């Protein structure tokens, strides 16, 4: 009986997140107006995104969306850990260290829930020639896979898109078998 209740609850959550048009009227009022539903079995992900973002997803590039200004970019991909047994804390430590070595300056970080699983969100900046690029990266480990979501934009324009990116991330659901 407990398994049946848990299954029904999980199904309800998946429907609410995966199909925003079925959200209650008060939740949906203008929340995802002008947004498109994205679902891809190959990349094991579903989410919603603004209609005016250009989808450049392909098997070679992964999930890639370019903002209307042609500068900002939202990406997602996953990869096996290739028999490296590590937990999220170890993965975060290793990757923060690598980013710091190549010049990243950390602005914010926190452990979050991503697609109903523990994840780590990091916001950092890096110099790219004369420009400063700002990044929001989320790392999520599930079983032997790492799921990576990244939003990048010029530092001075990053903040104007962060609420939109947060809504996208909140809607993201990893498709597990």
Write out pLDDT tens, residues 21-61.
334 444 444 677 889 999 999 999 999 999 999 999 999 88
Residue 131 to residue 8: CA distance in whole angstroms: 49
Segment among 8-17, 42-51, 125-134, 153-162 with least mean pLDDT: 8-17
Coil, strand, or helix at residue 157?
helix
What pLDDT score was predicted for residue 7?
A: 39
Buried b / exposed e across 17-29, counting CB within 10 Å, b at 16+?
bbebeeeeeeeee
Q: For 96-128, write each residue's pLDDT tens digit.
A: 999 999 999 999 999 999 999 999 999 999 998
Residue 138 to residue 148: CA distance in whole angstroms: 6
The distance of Cα 66 from the centroid of its chain, to the nearest Å, equals 14
> Mean pLDDT score of the chain, rounded to an integer?
84
Task: Please state whether beta strands 35-40 and 173-174 pair in parallel, antiparallel, or not at all (unpaired).
Answer: unpaired
Q: Find the Cα–Cα–Cα–Cα dihedral 161, 134, 39, 23, rounded to 10°.
A: -40
Q: What is the pTM of this model?
A: 0.80
What pLDDT score was predicted for residue 81?
A: 85
Residues 74-92 have a mean pLDDT of: 89
What pLDDT score was predicted for residue 30?
A: 62
Residue 133 to residue 129: CA distance in whole angstroms: 10
What pLDDT score was predicted for residue 17?
A: 41
């Amino acid at each position: 009986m407990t398994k049946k209740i848990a299954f029904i609850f999980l199904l309800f959550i998946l429907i609410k997140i995966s199909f925003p048009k079925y959200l209650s009227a008060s939740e949906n009022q203008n929340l995802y107006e002008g947004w498109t539903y994205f679902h891809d079995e190959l990349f094991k992900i579903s989410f919603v995104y603004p209609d005016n973002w250009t989808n450049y997803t392909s098997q070679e590039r992964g999930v890639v969306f370019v903002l209307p200004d042609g500068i900002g970019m939202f990406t997602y991909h996953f990869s096996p850990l290739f028999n490296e047994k590590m937990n999220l804390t170890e993965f975060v430590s290793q990757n923060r260290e690598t980013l710091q070595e190549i010049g990243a300056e950390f602005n914010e970080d926190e452990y979050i829930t991503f697609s109903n699983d523990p994840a780590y969100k990091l916001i950092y900046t890096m110099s790219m020639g004369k420009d400063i690029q700002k990044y929001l990266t989320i790392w999520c480990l599930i079983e032997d896979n790492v799921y990576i979501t990244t939003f990048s934009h010029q530092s001075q324009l990053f903040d104007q898109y962060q609420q939109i990116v947060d809504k996208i991330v909140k809607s993201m659901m990893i498709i597990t078998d």
